[in-house]
Chain A
Amino acid sequence: MISRPHGGRLVNRVLASKRRERILEEVDEFERLNIDQGRAFDAENIAYGVYSPLEGFMLEEEFLSVLDDMRLPNDLPWTIPIVLDIDEKTAARIEPGDDVMLYYEDIPVAVLHVEEIYVYDKERFARCVFKTTDLAHPGVAKVFSMGKYLIGGRVDLINDPPNPFERYTLRPVETRVLFRERGWKTVVGFQTRNVPHLGHEYLQKSALVFVDGLFINPVIGRKKRGDFRDDVILSAYEVLLRNYYPRESAVLSIVRYEMRYAGPREAIHHAIMRKNFGCTHFIVGRDHAGVGNYYGPYEAQEIFKEFPDLGITPLFFREFFYCRKCGAIVNERVCPHDESFRLRFSGTKIREMIRSGKTPPPEFMRPEVAEAIFQFENPFVE
Chain B
Amino acid sequence: MSEEKVPIYIKKELYERLKKHVKESGGFESIEEFVEFVLNEVLEEEEEEEVYSPEEEEEIKRRLRSLGYL
Q: Which residue of B47, B61, B69 has the most chain A CB atoms within 10 A of its CB atom?
A: B69
Question: A4 to B43, alpha carbons, bound, how many Å?
Answer: 12
A377 is an interface residue with CB less than 8 A from chain B: no
Question: A102 to B56, alpha carbons, bound, how many Å?
Answer: 28
Name the interface residues of A1-23: CB closer than 8 Å to any CB of B.
Answer: 1-2, 4-5, 8-10
Name the one of B28, B45, B52, B67 contacting A177, with C-beta atoms under 8 angstroms.
Answer: B52
**Looking at chain B, what size class is its interface with the partner chain?**
20 to 34
Given A181-B70, A305-B26, A308-B25: A1 and B61 interface contact (C-beta under 8 Å): no
A178 near B28: Cβ-Cβ < 8 Å: no
A174 near B50: Cβ-Cβ < 8 Å: no
B37 is an interface residue with CB less than 8 A from chain A: yes
B69 near A251: Cβ-Cβ < 8 Å: yes
A178 near B25: Cβ-Cβ < 8 Å: no
Name the one of B25, B49, B64 contacting A1, with C-beta atoms under 8 angstroms.
Answer: B49
Given A8-B44, A309-B37: A178 and B70 interface contact (C-beta under 8 Å): yes
B52 near A167: Cβ-Cβ < 8 Å: no
The A interface is mostly helix, strand or loop, or mixed, namely loop
Name the one of A176, A181, A253, A306 contacting B50, with C-beta atoms under 8 angstroms.
Answer: A176
A4 neighbours in B (Cβ, 8 Å): 44, 47, 49
Give residues in A with beta carbon < 8 Å to B.
1-2, 4-5, 8-10, 167, 170, 173-174, 176-178, 180-182, 251, 253, 305-309, 311
Give residues in B with beta carbon < 8 Å to A.
25-28, 37, 41, 44-45, 47, 49-50, 52, 57, 60-61, 63-64, 67, 69-70
